[in-house]
């Protein structure tokens, strides 16, 4: 039997780590962050803890790796329109993250944690790069790249996270149309002097498409890029 080369050892190690992360994602999806323990992971993988610790030092590293793996898969979504269109590519990035956050109940919290506590880790640059490349391709002036890209990033993650919360707040047995219809009825009964706008849009609540509304928000942001001039630089910024 030929001796194992260093290259093949690295490949085997990467595959072993991938399987550990895959199992971690499965546990997170079914049991949440509290259910992700090294004991549960060893049972799922039918291995000893030493084999896992060889690849992953602790739970924080495992959560980071699971988050990065899900985000990387989400960002690999192909555009529904033209692959050469920055807008179509940006919508693909947005919908990939939208669907991933909806599918994985733990993801929104982990993204918020990584953005606030570890923005230098892989997840934040990965998302920012995917959005920023399309911002640059749209012809946004370089001095506005950071502002436009981060506004889009915060909108995408915030709206997707809120949608996921809304979808799970009422449980699987709740009929969406009936729930939205009840909300619409309640809005129509509000005081017309205090809530004229809310009453006016009440009929638009039932039957709206969450994904279409989500993409409409991105379109509004992109429209504002050209419609709104950049704010003047402050004296402090010019120093």
* pLDDT tens, residue by residue, 1-47: 445 444 444 434 434 789 999 999 999 999 999 999 999 999 998 88
CA distance 198 to 189: 10
CB-based burial label for 90 (10 Å; 0-12, 13-18, 19+):
buried
- Compute CA distances 89 → 33, 73, 74, 164, whole Å: 32, 15, 13, 22
pLDDT at 173 over 70: no
Domain with CATH 1.10.10.60 in the chain: 8-56
Fold entry, domain 8-56: Arc Repressor Mutant, subunit A (1.10.10)
Average pLDDT over the chain reads 85
Which tokens go with 210?
Answer: 């969450």
Residue 188 pLDDT > 90, yes or no? yes
| Separation between Cα atoms, residue 36 and residue 26, nearest integer Å | 9
pLDDT tens across 62-73, in order? 999 999 999 999
Find the range with the poorest average confidence among 37-51, 132-146, 154-168, 171-185: 171-185
Q: Give the pLDDT confidence score for residue 234 in this predicted structure.
A: 58
Q: Which fold has domain 78-229?
A: Tetracycline Repressor; domain 2 (1.10.357)
Burial track 116-135 (b if 16+ CB lie within 10 A, e otherwise) = eeeeeebbbeebbebbbebb
Q: What percent of the chain has pLDDT over 90?
A: 56
DSSP conformation letters of 59-87: HHHHHHHHHHHHHHHHTTPPPSS-TT-HH
Decide if pLDDT at 185 tops 50.
yes
pLDDT classification of 232: cutoffs 50, 70, 90: low
- Exposure of 16 in the CB half-sphere (CA atoms within 13 A): 16
Query: Mean per-residue pLDDT for 46-74?
Result: 91
Helices 86-103 and 107-117 pack at an angle, to 10 degrees, of: 110
In this structure, the number of other CB atoms found within 10 A of the CB of residue 28 comes to 23
- Pull the structure tokens for residue 219: 């379109």
Residue 208 predicted with pLDDT over 70:
yes
Sorted by sequence, the CB contacts under 8 Å of residue 25 that are 6+ apart come out as 66, 69, 70, 104
């Amino acid at each position: 039997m030929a001796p194992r080369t260093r290259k093949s050892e690295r490949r085997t190690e990467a595959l072993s780590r991938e399987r550990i992360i895959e199992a971690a994602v499965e546990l997170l999806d079914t049991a949440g962050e509290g259910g992700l323990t090294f004991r549960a992971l060893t049972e799922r993988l039918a291995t000893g803890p030493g084999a896992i610790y060889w690849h992953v030092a602790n739970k924080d590293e495992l959560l980071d790796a699971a988050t990065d793996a899900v985000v990387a898969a989400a960002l690999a979504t192909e555009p529904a329109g033209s692959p050469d269109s920055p807008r179509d590519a940006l919508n693909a990035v947005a919908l990939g993250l939208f669907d991933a956050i909806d599918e994985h109940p733990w993801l929104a919290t982990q993204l918020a944690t990584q953005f606030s506590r570890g923005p230098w880790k892989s997840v934040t640059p990965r998302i920012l790069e995917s959005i920023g490349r399309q911002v640059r391709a749209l012809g946004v002036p370089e001095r506005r790249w950071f502002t436009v890209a981060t506004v889009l990033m915060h909108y995408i993650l915030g709206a997707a996270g809120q949608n996921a919360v809304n979808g799970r707040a009422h449980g699987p047995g709740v009929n969406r149309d009936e729930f939205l219809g009840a909300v619409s009825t309640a809005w129509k009964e509000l005081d017309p002097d205090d809530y004229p706008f809310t009453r006016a849009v009440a009929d638009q609540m039932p039957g709206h498409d969450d994904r279409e509304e989500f993409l409409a928000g991105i379109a509004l942001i992109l429209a504002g890029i050209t419609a709104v001039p950049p704010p003047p630089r402050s004296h402090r910024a010019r120093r």
